[in-house]
């Protein structure tokens, strides 16, 4: 009698942007490695197949099932934010486990599920990726009372999560320093670093960033590529742009590429309108639509600088790896995981995320041709391979 294959459920019910990239990396790895003794079910966002047809086509392979959450489940997730929002994710995961009966669950964003998994025990082992690397809060130069409180709350939540007997492994993106701290702090070995993967993509042929947006040859192009939100530093960046000197405005162009996060669109558009009305000499282009990976690669290669004014630098960022792969320098935070990576691998400028500091960095970059340390840059890029990411995550 043939033994039942090991069944792994991969749970990612949002799966937009870099989350879809992660799903694509895993499916590509499974298809190439062809692990005949395992089955994989991916629970993804509603409408995933319509947006990511290439991944859907790749998933049509033996041993892989791609399953979208229902429209009602998607609506429930859209309305579930804040400290208790993770319980909506748990209800959907619990229903999927009961129906599909996997042998192991991989939660692609354990940050949302952390609180419910402190109190609920799944019927099978689970692992996951924790995006918030709270030990990095210790390295922030400005330690507010709020951040100190957040650190303590995260310590308590982590201790409760580690008591779940079904927990097997917690992965942190590029988190070797945080993993060492957490394993030592709690006397465990379940925290493991995992690379934040960047695919090897050939840029879209015949695409010209300057021609697309009508940017003259003499201007420096600053690309801000992300899901627009408060934590990505949109507000402080717009403030800095409003302070540009006339000379700097005449010699620069800004492209904001990405959709605003739910609930942020109205505020985002109001800020941009105010900037354009106040400073019509500042050239700003908004690209609020899905951008293919080949177009994204071309944009990163052809921009002069990538902007990363993130106010939550304790997160890992795939944008940093994309920029390093394209050999385009960044302007990013001085603090946290991102700041340390920028400095250690010499990937650009790291500054305080204030309007004044960003303004200084942007104006200085107009006149600067940044020189990479190629050895350091290549080491960072090579450590961010999708193959290593997938092999580490699926080798639970």
8 Å CB contact between 78 and 98: no
Q: Give the number of other CB atoms < 10 A from CB of residue 43.
A: 24
Q: How far apart are CA 159 and CA 293, in angstroms?
A: 39
Q: Give the number of other CB atoms < 10 A from CB of residue 185.
A: 13
Mean pLDDT score, 325-353: 93
Q: For residue 284, tell me if it sits in a domain.
A: yes
Among candidates 6, 123, 108, which has minimal Cα distance to 63?
6
Both 137 and 284 in a single domain?
no
Q: How far apart are CA 285 and CA 135, in angstroms?
A: 37
- Output the domain CATH number for residue 62: 3.40.50.2000
φ and ψ of 265, to 5 deg: -60, -45
Strands (E), 258-364: 284-287, 305-307, 330-333, 348-351
Residue 14: DSSP 8-state = S
8 Å CB contact between 129 and 110: yes
Q: For residue 38, tell me if it sits in a domain.
A: yes
Q: What is the pLDDT of residues 103-157, one digit of tens each?
A: 999 999 998 889 999 999 999 999 999 887 766 665 555 556 666 777 788 888 9
Map tokens 């799903």 to a residue.
Answer: 23
Look at the pTM and tell me if it is higher than 0.95.
no
Both 61 and 134 in a single domain?
yes
Q: For residue 203, tell me if it sits in a domain.
A: no
Q: Is residue 159's pLDDT more than 70?
A: yes
φ and ψ of 224, to 5 deg: -115, 100
Both 57 and 170 in a single domain?
yes
Q: How far apart are CA 350 and CA 386, in angstroms?
A: 26
Q: For residue 172, tell me if it sits in a domain.
A: yes
Q: What is the pLDDT of residues 342-380, one digit of tens each?
A: 999 999 999 999 999 999 999 999 988 898 999 999 999
- Total domains present in the chain: 2
Q: For residue 1, tell me if it sits in a domain.
A: no
Q: How far apart are CA 155 and CA 127, in angstroms?
A: 19
Angle at 341 between CA 303 and CA 83, to 5 degrees: 95
Both 240 and 190 in a single domain?
no
φ and ψ of 91, to 5 deg: -60, -40
Q: Is residue 1's pLDDT more than 50?
A: no
Q: Is residue 4's pLDDT more than 60?
A: no
Map tokens 């025990």 to a residue.
Answer: 121
Both 378 and 390 in a single domain?
no
Beta bridge partners of 253: 221
Domain span holding position 286: 209-382
Q: What is the pLDDT of residues 162-200, one digit of tens each?
A: 999 999 999 999 888 889 999 999 999 999 999 988 888
Q: Give the number of other CB atoms < 10 A from CB of residue 34.
A: 10
Mean pLDDT score, 15-25: 84
Q: How far apart are CA 288 and CA 323, in angstroms?
A: 20
The pLDDT score that the predictor gives to residue 35 is: 66
Both 160 and 11 in a single domain?
yes
Q: Is residue 232's pLDDT more than 70?
A: yes
Both 253 and 347 in a single domain?
yes
Both 260 and 121 in a single domain?
no
């Amino acid at each position: 009698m043939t033994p039942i294959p090991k069944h792994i459920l991969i749970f990612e019910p949002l799966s937009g942007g870099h989350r879809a990239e992660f799903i694509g990396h895993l499916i590509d790895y499974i298809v190439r490695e062809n692990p005949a003794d395992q089955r994989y079910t991916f629970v993804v966002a509603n409408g995933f197949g319509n947006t990511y047809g290439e991944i859907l086509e790749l998933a049509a392979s033996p041993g892989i099932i791609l399953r979208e959450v229902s429209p009602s489940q998607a609506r429930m997730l859209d309305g579930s934010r804040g400290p208790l929002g993770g319980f909506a994710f748990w209800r959907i995961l619990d229903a999927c486990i009961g129906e599909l009966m996997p042998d192991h669950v991989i939660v692609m964003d354990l940050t949302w599920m952390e609180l419910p998994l402190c109190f609920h025990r799944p019927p099978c082992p689970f692992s996951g990726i924790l995006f918030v690397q709270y030990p990095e809060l210790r390295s922030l130069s400005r330690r507010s009372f709020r951040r100190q409180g957040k650190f303590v709350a995260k310590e308590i939540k982590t201790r409760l999560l580690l008591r779940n007997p079904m927990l097997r492994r917690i992965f942190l993106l590029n988190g070797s320093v945080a993993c060492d701290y957490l394993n030592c702090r709690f006397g465990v070995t379940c925290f493991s670093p995992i690379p934040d993967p960047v695919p090897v993509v050939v840029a879209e042929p015949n695409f010209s960033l300057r021609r697309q947006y009508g940017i003259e040859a003499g201007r420096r192009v600053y690309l801000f590529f992300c899901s627009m939100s408060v934590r990505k530093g949109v507000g402080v960046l717009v403030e800095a742009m409003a302070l540009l000197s006339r000379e700097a405005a005449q010699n620069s162009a800004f492209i904001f590429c990405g959709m605003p996060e739910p609930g942020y669109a109205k505020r985002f558009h109001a800020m941009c309108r105010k900037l354009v009305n106040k400073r019509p000499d500042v050239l700003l282009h908004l690209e609020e639509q899905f951008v293919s990976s080949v177009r994204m690669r071309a944009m990163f290669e052809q921009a002069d600088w990538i902007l990363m004014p993130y106010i939550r630098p304790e997160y890992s960022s795939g944008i940093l790896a994309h920029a390093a792969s394209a050999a385009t320098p960044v302007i990013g935070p001085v603090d946290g995981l991102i700041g340390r990576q920028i400095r250690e691998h010499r990937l650009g400028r790291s500054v305080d995320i204030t309007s004044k500091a960003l303004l200084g960095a942007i104006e200085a970059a107009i006149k600067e041709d940044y020189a990479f340390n190629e050895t350091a840059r290549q080491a960072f890029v090579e450590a961010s391979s999708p193959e290593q990411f997938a092999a580490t995550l699926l080798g639970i």
